[in-house]
């Protein structure tokens, strides 16, 4: 009787068998899952295996027990990779959305969560007041300085051109319209995005990579309630007041420059501005400021809480948050201006 023992990955067969018609019979009770057909020839000591996947190598070694030769079969690993790669995975199973795509979607999701929290009253008011102090009073200095120099730069350009046309009385009206409708909300938002938006993204990004946001969840606090919502509310409240302050400072600096350098009286500038402006110009500037504040805070917070990759990821999130906020400000400014100011205007009719 031929007996066989299986030790993976080596098959060893002891040659204890009776020959029948030149063939050796052996017992293969445990090899049926692996071998299709096993045959031995009496003279040449060869073995044939029909295995669907792996190739085998056969060699004979002397047996120390009874002096009969034993047959050893070793597996080759050369074709194992081909055996496991017959089934290819589909492309959809390996595809993951690009990072910028799911980050952009996270902005809208977070904005919806903040709106729901505000409507349901789930607001951390102590943290909101702290962020309001940070966004508002601490940003006054840089906003005033920026508005003053922007106002003087535009005054130089307008006065030079309008003086040639004999329209000195229209300078104040043009400056007032430019500041109230576009310059004040946009310039203020740019300053706040660079100062506050980058700080929001850096803070929340550091908390994310150091797993502090996970700690808040373990303690039963939702990070959106404690971290995101107060920052959004503070930005939306503080930015309209900063815009109004920048408008006032910009007009004052323009009037002083026109009077001291170009000889146009301050009374002429202010009277022209009063004739050109109406209440809707100021209201539209406030609406734009609220929208810009929401964009800055939401984008910065969303980029912060989706930060990955340690300190390098925090730096990349801070930079990209400011860039995306500025792009969002310009897009929103165009959309709101297109909605607010359509058709031909007659604001300068009373200034000529």
When pLDDT is averaged across residues 79-106 and rounded to a whole number, the result is 62
Q: Where are the alpha helices (DSSP H) in the chain?
A: 80-84, 91-94, 99-120, 125-135, 140-164, 171-178, 184-192, 198-209, 212-218, 223, 229-261, 266-276, 279-305, 310-340
Domain ranges, ordered by start, for the chain = 3-76, 99-330
Residue 76 φ then ψ, to 5°: -100, 135
**pLDDT interval class at 200 (50, 70, 90):** very high
Q: Judge whether residue 319 has pLDDT over 60.
A: yes
> Which is nearest to 182 in space by CA: 273, 288, 258, 277?
288
What is the per-residue pLDDT for 30?
47
Which of 323, 328, 324, 322 has its CA nearest to residue 202? 322
For the cut 60, the answer to whether the pLDDT of residue 17 exceeds it is no
pLDDT digits (tens, 9 = 90+) for 322-340: 999 999 999 999 999 999 8
| pLDDT confidence of residue 21 | 46
Q: pTM of whole model > 0.85?
A: no
Q: Give me the mean pLDDT over the 254-270 stretch.
A: 87
Q: Rounded distance, CA 6 to CA 99, Å?
A: 51
A 10 A CB-CB count for 52 gives 7
Lookup result for tokens 């051109």: 161
Q: What's the whole-number average pLDDT of the chain?
A: 77
Please state the rounded mean pLDDT for residues 191-202: 92
For the stretch 206-253, pLDDT in tens is: 988 888 888 888 888 888 888 899 999 999 999 999 999 999 999 999
The segment with the largest mean pLDDT, out of 41-45, 75-79, 134-138, is 134-138
Position 99 confidence tier, pLDDT thresholds 50, 70, 90: confident
């Amino acid at each position: 009787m031929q007996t066989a023992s299986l030790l993976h990955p080596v098959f060893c067969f002891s040659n204890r068998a009776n020959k029948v018609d030149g063939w050796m019979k052996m017992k293969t009770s445990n090899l049926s899952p692996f071998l299709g057909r096993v045959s031995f020839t009496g003279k040449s000591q060869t073995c044939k295996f029909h295995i669907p996947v792996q190739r085998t190598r056969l060699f004979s070694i002397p047996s120390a027990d009874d002096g009969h030769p034993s047959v050893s079969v070793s597996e080759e690993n050369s074709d194992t990779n081909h055996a496991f790669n017959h089934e290819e995975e589909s492309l959809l199973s390996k595809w993951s959305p690009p990072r910028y795509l799911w980050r952009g979607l996270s902005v809208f999701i977070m904005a919806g969560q903040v709106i729901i929290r505000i409507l349901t009253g789930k607001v951390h008011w102590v943290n909101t007041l702290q962020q309001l102090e940070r966004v508002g009073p601490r940003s006054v200095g840089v906003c005033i300085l920026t508005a003053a120099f922007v106002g003087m730069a535009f005054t130089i350009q307008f006065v030079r051109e309008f003086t040639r046309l004999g329209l000195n009385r229209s300078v104040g009206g043009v400056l007032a319209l430019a500041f109230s409708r576009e310059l004040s909300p946009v310039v203020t938002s740019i300053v706040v995005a660079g100062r506050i938006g980058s700080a929001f993204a850096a803070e929340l990004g550091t908390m994310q990579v150091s797993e502090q946001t996970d700690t808040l969840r373990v303690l039963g606090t939702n990070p959106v309630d404690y971290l995101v919502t107060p920052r959004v509310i503070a930005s939306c409240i503080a930015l309209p007041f900063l815009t109004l302050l920048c408008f006032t400072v910009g007009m004052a600096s323009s009037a002083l420059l026109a009077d001291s350098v170009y000889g146009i009286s301050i009374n002429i500038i202010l009277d022209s501005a009063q004739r050109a402006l109406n209440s809707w110009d100021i209201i539209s500037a406030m609406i734009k400021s609220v929208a810009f504040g929401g964009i800055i805070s939401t984008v910065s917070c969303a980029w912060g809480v989706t930060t990955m990759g340690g300190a390098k990821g925090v730096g990349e999130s801070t930079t990209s948050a400011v860039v995306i906020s500025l792009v969002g400000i310009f897009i929103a400014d165009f959309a709101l201006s297109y909605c607010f100011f359509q058709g031909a205007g007659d604001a300068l009719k009373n200034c000529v």
